C-alpha cells in the first residue's frame, strides 16, 4: 500500500480540520453554543474520523469519534456545556496533532491515547494528564506547491543580491568619474586652443553618448536588481499569524489558571515579517501578553468593583507603517504603578533613591525592563526556559527594534513595538566622525541639529542642548567610541538627536553625509566582540562602514563620564577664531604656500584642487572666505565664483581671486563674476593676501 503518500495527503487535510476545530471550540466558549457552529464542528470531526480510518490511523479515528460523540451530545442536549469540556476537546486536538506527527515520523513519539479517550468519555480531564498530551515540536507540512529552502540559502541569496545592488552604486561613482574626466578634457582643449577641432568634437560627443548609454544601462540594472532583491527578501517573510496562532490557547489556559476573564483580540495577523524577526519577537510577545494577564488584568470581582467590564481585554494589533511594522499590545488592566517601580528598583540596587526620584513617571516604567528588576521568571512554552523582561529588551535590540511603553494607573498598559520588516536592508544616515564613516539606522534619528558651542548648557551636572523646550543630554560620538582625536572645529556643530524607547540623547558628530540604503553584513568574527556596532556595510564607493548599535550607545552614554564638551569646543574654536578659508588652486605649490601663510596666521584652511572639488567642500562645511585661482581644469575660477554667488548658502561668501592673469579685461571678468578682490600672482606678497583676507573676513 502507498501508505506514506496517503499519510501526507491526510496530514494536510487533517491540519485544516484541526485548525477549524480549535478555533471553533474557542468560539463556542466565547460566544456560547450555536447550531451552525456545532454542525461545522461535527462535520470536521466526522470527516477526520472517516479519513483517518481510511488511511489506517485507527487511534486517531478513535479520538475523532469520541469528539464527535461529545458534539452530538451537545447538539441533542444530552451533554452539558462547560469550560472543562472545551478543555477536554482542546486536549484531544493536541493528541490528534501528536498522532499526526507520529504517523509522519513513523513512530517515536508516544501519545497516551487511552488517557485522552477516557477524558473524552468522562468529559473532564485531570491536570497532569493535560500536560502529557501536548504535541512536541510538531512541524506541520508544506503545501505541495512550495519547495523548502533553508534560511541559510536564502540569506546567501539576499547577500549576493545586496552586493549586486552595491556594484550598481559603485558604477554610479564610476560614471561621475567619467563625467569629470570629460570636463577635464574640455578645459584641456580650451587650454590648448584646439576646441574647434572637428575630430575632437566628434570624440567628445561620442564619449558623452557612451556615458549616457552607460547611465541608462546602469539604471536599468539597478531597477532589476532592486526588484529581484525585493522578491528575494519577500521569500524570507512570514505572516505574523505563524507565531500568534498558538497564543490564543496558551493565554486562555493561563487566564483560566489565574481565575481571570480575558478577551483576547488579535488584529493584523497577515502582516509579514522577516522570519528572524518573528523568531525574536515571539517570546517577547508571549511574555508581554502573559504579563498582561498575570499583572495587568484584575480579578473579575475587582474589575466589577472598579466598574470595569468583568472580562479584561487584551489586544494585539499589527500594522504596516512605512517600511516599519508596528505591533501594539494593549490591555485595560490596572497599569503600572510608577511609585512601586521606583521603590523596587531602588531595593534591587538598579539605581539610587535620588536618581529614581529624579526620573519622570513616563521614564520610570521602563525600569521594569532592566536586568534584575524582576526576580520572577516566566516559563514560556516557546523555548521552555525562563524569560525575564530584560530578555525582551535583548531580543528587540538584536533585531534593531524600538519600543515604547505607556501606562496609566488603573486604566491600562500599552506596549508598542516598532520593527524593521527586514533585517538585511535599511535606510541609514551616514555620519563622519574622526575621519571614519559610520551608519545610523534612520528610525532612531529624530532630528539633525546645527548648534553653536554656546548652545551647550549645563543642567544638573550634565551638558544638554535644548530642543522644543526639552533638555536633551549631550554626548560626543568620538568620545563614546574613545577616538580621542582633536575635535574638529567648525562654528556650527552637528548634533544627531537619537530617540530610543522614549529617551532622547544628542550626539555630536563631525558631519552628516546623507541617507543611503544599506545592506547589512555580519561583522567578521574578529570584529564580533566590538562594542557599539551591530554590523557593517559597504558604501557606494566600495568603502566599508560600521553600523552603530544605538541600543549600546544609549547604554554607554548613561555610564560613561565624558569630558566637558562646551569647554573643549570653545577652546578649539578660539584657536580658529580668525575664520575658515577655502583655498582653490590646481597647482600644489600655490595651494600649499597659501595654506601655510593662512594657517600660520590662525586661519583654518581647507584646500580644493579644482572648481568641482571646491563645490563639494562648500557643500560639506561652512566657510568664511574663499581664495581661488582662475585657470583650472574643468571649471575656471570665474565660473566657480559665479556658481558660488548663485548658491543660496554661499552667495555672501567673500571671494578673492589670485591669478597670473594681469589684464584689465580679466580683472573686469573677475569682478563681474562676483569676486571681492583680485590679486595678481606676479605682485603676490604674503602681506597683500593676509591683509585682504583680514579685511574681508572682519
Partner 1 sequence: MAKKILIVDDSPSVLAVLEDMLDDLGYEVTAASNGKQACQLLETIRYDLIITDLSMPVMDGIDFAQTAKQMPNCKFVPIVMLSSEEDAAKIAEAKRVGISTFLRKPVKEVQLKTILQVVLGT
Site residues, partner 1 (CB under 8 A): 2, 5-6, 9-10, 12-13, 43, 46-47, 49-51, 53-56
Whole-number Cα distances in Å, 530 to 481, 495, 523, 534: 11, 24, 9, 8
Tell me the closest approach of the beta carbon of residue 109 to partner 1, in angstroms: 20
Query: Cα(first)–Cα(last) distance of the chain, in Å?
Result: 98
Q: How many helices (H) and strands (E) does the chain have?
A: 24, 25
Task: Closer to partner 1 by CB, 49 or 169: give it.
Answer: 49
Task: Closer to partner 1 by CB, 18 or 689: give it.
Answer: 18
Tell me the closest approach of the beta carbon of residue 115 to partner 1, in angstroms: 24
- 617 Cβ neighbours under 8 A, 6+ residues apart: 582, 606, 608, 623
Tell me the closest approach of the beta carbon of residue 78 to partner 1, in angstroms: 14
Task: Closer to partner 1 by CB, 76 or 683: give it.
Answer: 76
CA separation for the pair 340, 405 (Å, rounded): 16
In the Cβ-directed half-sphere of 679, how many Cα atoms lie within 13 Å?
21
Tell me the closest approach of the beta carbon of residue 98 to partner 1, in angstroms: 18
Task: Closer to partner 1 by CB, 55 or 113: give it.
Answer: 55
Q: Is the dihedral of CA 269, 273, 275, 279 positive or negative?
A: negative
Tell me the closest approach of the beta carbon of residue 49 to partner 1, in angstroms: 6
Task: Closer to partner 1 by CB, 9 or 182: give it.
Answer: 9
CA separation for the pair 71, 329 (Å, rounded): 35
Task: Closer to partner 1 by CB, 52 or 166: give it.
Answer: 52
Task: Closer to partner 1 by CB, 69 or 370: give it.
Answer: 69
Task: Closer to partner 1 by CB, 56 or 491: give it.
Answer: 56
Three-state secondary-structure class, residue 353: helix
Tell me the closest approach of the beta carbon of residue 103 to partner 1, in angstroms: 11
DSSP 93-110: HHHHHHHHHHHHHTS---
In the Cβ-directed half-sphere of 600, how many Cα atoms lie within 13 Å?
8
- 457 Cβ neighbours under 8 A, 6+ residues apart: 463, 464, 465, 466, 471
Angle at 498 between CA 493 and CA 499, to 5 degrees: 155
CA separation for the pair 191, 182 (Å, rounded): 14
Task: Closer to partner 1 by CB, 9 or 409: give it.
Answer: 9
H or E segment to which residue 403 belongs: strand 402-408
DSSP state of 521: B
Contacts of the segment 18-24: beta carbons below 8 A, 24+ positions apart? 18/48, 18/93, 18/96, 18/97, 20/44, 21/45, 21/48, 21/67, 21/89, 21/93, 22/90, 22/93, 22/249, 23/248
Q: Which of 286, 303, 544 is nearest to 415 (CA)?
A: 286
Task: Closer to partner 1 by CB, 44 or 291: give it.
Answer: 44
Task: Closer to partner 1 by CB, 56 or 552: give it.
Answer: 56
Q: Copy the grid coordinates of residue 80.
A: 452539558
Tell me the closest approach of the beta carbon of residue 53 to partner 1, in angstroms: 4
Q: Which of 497, 689, 636 is nearest to 191 (CA)?
A: 636
Tell me the closest approach of the beta carbon of residue 99 to partner 1, in angstroms: 14
Q: Which of 676, 570, 554, 556 is nearest to 624 (CA)?
A: 676
Q: Which of 690, 689, 631, 638 is nearest to 661 (CA)?
A: 631
In the Cβ-directed half-sphere of 256, how many Cα atoms lie within 13 Å?
14
Tell me the closest approach of the beta carbon of residue 42 to partner 1, in angstroms: 8
Tell me the closest approach of the beta carbon of residue 51 to partner 1, in angstroms: 4
Task: Closer to partner 1 by CB, 12 or 450: give it.
Answer: 12
Task: Closer to partner 1 by CB, 5 or 577: give it.
Answer: 5
Tell me the closest approach of the beta carbon of residue 74 to partner 1, in angstroms: 16
Q: Copy the grid coordinates of residue 596.
A: 601655510
DSSP state of 457: E
Whole-number Cα distances in Å, 463 to 61, 355, 474, 476, 563: 72, 17, 6, 11, 10
Tell me the closest approach of the beta carbon of residue 93 to partner 1, in angstroms: 18
Tell me the closest approach of the beta carbon of residue 12 to partner 1, in angstroms: 7
User: Could you count the other beta carbons within 10 Å of the beta carbon of residue 100?
Assistant: 25
Task: Closer to partner 1 by CB, 46 or 521: give it.
Answer: 46
Q: Is the dihedral of CA 473, 476, 480, 482 positive or negative?
A: negative
Amino acid at each position: 500500500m502507498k501508505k506514506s503518500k496517503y499519510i501526507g495527503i491526510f496530514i494536510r487535510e487533517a491540519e485544516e480540520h484541526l485548525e477549524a476545530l480549535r478555533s471553533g471550540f474557542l468560539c463556542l466558549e466565547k460566544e456560547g453554543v450555536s447550531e451552525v457552529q456545532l454542525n461545522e464542528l461535527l462535520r470536521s470531526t466526522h470527516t477526520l474520523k472517516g479519513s483517518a480510518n481510511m488511511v489506517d490511523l485507527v487511534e486517531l479515528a478513535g479520538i475523532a469519534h469520541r469528539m464527535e460523540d461529545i458534539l452530538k451530545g451537545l447538539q441533542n442536549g444530552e451533554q452539558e456545556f462547560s469550560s472543562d469540556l472545551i478543555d477536554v476537546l482542546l486536549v484531544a486536538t493536541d493528541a490528534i496533532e501528536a498522532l499526526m506527527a507520529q504517523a509522519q515520523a513513523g513512530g517515536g513519539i508516544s501519545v497516551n491515547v487511552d488517557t485522552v479517550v477516557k477524558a473524552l468519555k468522562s468529559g473532564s480531564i485531570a491536570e497532569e494528564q493535560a500536560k502529557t498530551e501536548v504535541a512536541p515540536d510538531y512541524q506541520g507540512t508544506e503545501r505541495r506547491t512550495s519547495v523548502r529552502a533553508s534560511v541559510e540559502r536564502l540569506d546567501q541569496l539576499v547577500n549576493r543580491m545586496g552586493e549586486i545592488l552595491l556594484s550598481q552604486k559603485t558604477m554610479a561613482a564610476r560614471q561621475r568619474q567619467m563625467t569629470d574626466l570629460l570636463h577635464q578634457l574640455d578645459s584641456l582643449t580650451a587650454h590648448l586652443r584646439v576646441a574647434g577641432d572637428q575630430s575632437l568634437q566628434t570624440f567628445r560627443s561620442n564619449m558623452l553618448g557612451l556615458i549616457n548609454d552607460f547611465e541608462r544601462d546602469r539604471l536599468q540594472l539597478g531597477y532589476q536588481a532592486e526588484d529581484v532583491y525585493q522578491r528575494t527578501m519577500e521569500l524570507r517573510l512570514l505572516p505574523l499569524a505563524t507565531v500568534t496562532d498558538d497564543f490564543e490557547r496558551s493565554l486562555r489556559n493561563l487566564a483560566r489558571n489565574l481565575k481571570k476573564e480575558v478577551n483576547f483580540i488579535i488584529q493584523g495577523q497577515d502582516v509579514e515579517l522577516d522570519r528572524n524577526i518573528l523568531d525574536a519577537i515571539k517570546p517577547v510577545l508571549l511574555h508581554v501578553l502573559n504579563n498582561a494577564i498575570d499583572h495587568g488584568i484584575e480579578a473579575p470581582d475587582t474589575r466589577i468593583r472598579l466598574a470595569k467590564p468583568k472580562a479584561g481585554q487584551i489586544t494585539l494589533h499589527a500594522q504596516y507603517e512605512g517600511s516599519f511594522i508596528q505591533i501594539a499590545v494593549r490591555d485595560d488592566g490596572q497599569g503600572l504603578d510608577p511609585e512601586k517601580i521606583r521603590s523596587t528598583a531602588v531595593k534591587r540596587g538598579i539605581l539610587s533613591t535620588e536618581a529614581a526620584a529624579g526620573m519622570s513617571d513616563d521614564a520610570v516604567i521602563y525600569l521594569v525592563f532592566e536586568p534584575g528588576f524582576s526576580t520572577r521568571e516566566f516559563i514560556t512554552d516557546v523555548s521552555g526556559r525562563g524569560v525575564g523582561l530584560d530578555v525582551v529588551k535583548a531580543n528587540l535590540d538584536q533585531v534593531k527594534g524600538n519600543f515604547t511603553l505607556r501606562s496609566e494607573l488603573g486604566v491600562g498598559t500599552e506596549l508598542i513595538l516598532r520593527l524593521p520588516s527586514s533585517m538585511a536592508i535599511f535606510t541609514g544616515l551616514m555620519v563622519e566622525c574622526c575621519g571614519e564613516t559610520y551608519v545610523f539606522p534612520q528610525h532612531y534619528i529624530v532630528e539633525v541639529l546645527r548648534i553653536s558651542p554656546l548652545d551647550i548648557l549645563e543642567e544638573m551636572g550634565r551638558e544638554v542642548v535644548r530642543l522644543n523646550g526639552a533638555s536633551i543630554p549631550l554626548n560626543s560620538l568620538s568620545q563614546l567610541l574613545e577616538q580621542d582625536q582633536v575635535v574638529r572645529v567648525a562654528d556650527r556643530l552637528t548634533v544627531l538627536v537619537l530617540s530610543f524607547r522614549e529617551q532622547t540623547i544628542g550626539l555630536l558628530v563631525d558631519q552628516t553625509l546623507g541617507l543611503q540604503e544599506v545592506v547589512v553584513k555580519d561583522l567578521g568574527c574578529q570584529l564580533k566582540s566590538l562594542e557599539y556596532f551591530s554590523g557593517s556595510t559597504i558604501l557606494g564607493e566600495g568603502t566599508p562602514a560600521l553600523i552603530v548599535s544605538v541600543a549600546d550607545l544609549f547604554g554607554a552614554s548613561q555610564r560613561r563620564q565624558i569630558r566637558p564638551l562646551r569647554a573643549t569646543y570653545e577652546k578649539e574654536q578660539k584657536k580658529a577664531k580668525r575664520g575658515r578659508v577655502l583655498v582653490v588652486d590646481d597647482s600644489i605649490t600655490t595651494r600649499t604656500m597659501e595654506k601655510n601663510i593662512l594657517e600660520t596666521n590662525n586661519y583654518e584652511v581647507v584646500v580644493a584642487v579644482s572648481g568641482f572639488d571646491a563645490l563639494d567642500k562648500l557643500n560639506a562645511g561652512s566657510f568664511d572666505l574663499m581664495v581661488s585661482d582662475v585657470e583650472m581644469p574643468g571649471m575656471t575660477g570665474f565660473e566657480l565664483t559665479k556658481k558660488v554667488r548663485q548658491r543660496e548658502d554661499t552667495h555672501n561668501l567673500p571671494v578673492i581671486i589670485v591669478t597670473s592673469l594681469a589684464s584689465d579685461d580679466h580683472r573686469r571678468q573677475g569682478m563681474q563674476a562676483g569676486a571681492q578682490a583680485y590679486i595678481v600672482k606676479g605682485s603676490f606678497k604674503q602681506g597683500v593676501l593676509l591683509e585682504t583676507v583680514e579685511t574681508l573676513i572682519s
